[in-house]
Amino acid sequence: MARQAGIGMVLCRSFSISAAAGNLCDKIGFIGAGNMAKAIMGGMIRNGVQRAHNVMVYDVSTDQMDACCKAFPGIRKAESLHNLLMDADIVLLGVKPQNVEAVLKPLKAEVEKMGPLRTDTVLASIIAGVPLHAFQKYTGMENIVRAMPNTPVTVEQGCTVWCSTRDLPKEKKELISKLFSAIGDEIYMEDERFLDMATAISGSGPAYVFLTMEAMIDSGVHMGFPRHIAERLVMNTLLGTCLYAIQSGEHVSKLRNDITSPGGTTASAIYNLEKGGFRTTVSDAVWAAYRRSLELGGMDSNVGPGRNNTLPTFWQKDMRDDTA
């Protein structure tokens, strides 16, 4: 049961920080005002982690900034990157991977114009695939966090995997942990290379689930259910199954076997899924996402089944160390 405890706490989470508790810090700045940034803003404001007037946002789209200010009254719009960076305790960078260069070059120019930022400012990136050293190179900052949240953070049930530069002070790690805890579960990894793996599993994972849901819903409609009933059946089945798996603490293969009666409907369905390569197809999809994340960071993506390197070498080494 111990391995499931952290997950169960997320779904039944009650925050120890009250709405009147104050702020994590004096100023958190957001570069980029997209859906993920708004989800993080909303989570920390609603749960009393940070007051709205201690949050500032900058985006090239004034419409996006206006939407943030409308959704969370009190948030301040930054007139420029210079305005946002000035005196910020945490700067959260949330833009599309293809826009990274367009953001980092002006960011570097602002840092050079202003001189060195406060030495304790933390730059936290939620951009897929871009490694820590890229932000150090462009900004000269030392306190860097790289994180991979996922879409369920929108309803404060997400999972955020994150890492940091080696010398990030303990108190700064605690700040970032509290920030990400406001939107769901958060997992800190010492080794940055696990972030690309997390991108493939939890980061892209909701899309795999949505596709499975879509297939099941369409099958229900094909059989004759009204679409809204098919959607209700599928969504509640997935929600209940996840909660059951978390609370049981059992291995999922045992849970699946427990509901597969000999000669029954479930056994027939499982046979067809296995015959169609369901398990391998899902695995190949996860590996494909992992390879793409490596490519986005300019790293060797020749890993996985059928490739030269079956597993990343650091993982093979760690496994040998663990079993020595």
Query: What is the pTM for the complete model shown?
Result: 0.83
Task: Please name the residue that has the structure tokens 């070498």.
Answer: 313
CA 61-29-189 angle, 5° bins: 115
| Top-level class of domain 205-259 | mainly alpha
pLDDT beyond 70 at 6: no
Query: Averaged over 107-124, what is the pLDDT?
Result: 75
CA 49-53-57 angle, 5° bins: 95
Q: Model confidence over 53-85: pLDDT tens digits?
A: 999 999 988 999 999 999 999 999 998 888 888
Q: Map 141-170 to HEC letters.
A: CCCEEEEECCHHHHHCCEEEEEEECCCCCH
Q: Which CATH number fits domain 2-195: 1.10.357.10, 3.10.20.600, 3.40.50.720, 3.40.50.620?
A: 3.40.50.720
Count, in order, helices (H) and strands (E) of the chain: 14, 8
* CA 55 to each of CA 75, 283, 285: distance values in angstroms, whole numbers, following the listed order: 5, 40, 38
pLDDT beyond 90 at 272: yes
pLDDT band at 192 (very low <50, low <70, confident <90, very high): very high
Are 122 and 26 within 8 A, CB to CB?
no
In this prediction, residue 290 carries a pLDDT of: 94
In this prediction, residue 130 carries a pLDDT of: 87
* CA 115 to each of CA 45, 81, 97, 100, 139: distance values in angstroms, whole numbers, following the listed order: 31, 14, 26, 22, 11
Q: Compute how many other C-beta atoms are within 10 angstroms of the C-beta atom of residue 249.
A: 13
SS3 263: coil
In this prediction, residue 313 carries a pLDDT of: 55
Are 148 and 195 within 8 A, CB to CB?
yes
In this prediction, residue 308 carries a pLDDT of: 66
In this prediction, residue 18 carries a pLDDT of: 37
* CA 277 to each of CA 152, 281, 282: distance values in angstroms, whole numbers, following the listed order: 28, 6, 9
State the chain's mean pLDDT as an integer: 86
Query: Averaged over 265-284, what is the pLDDT?
Result: 97
HSE at residue 239, side-chain half, CA atoms within 13 A, is: 9
pLDDT band at 210 (very low <50, low <70, confident <90, very high): very high
In this prediction, residue 314 carries a pLDDT of: 57
Give the burial string for 138-167 (b: 16+ CB within 10 Å, else e): bbebbbbbbbbbbbbbbebbbbbbbbbbee
Nearest alpha-carbon partner for 195 in 97, 137, 126: 126
Q: Could you tell me the residue ranges of all domains in the chain?
A: 2-195, 205-259
In this prediction, residue 137 carries a pLDDT of: 82
In this prediction, residue 242 carries a pLDDT of: 96
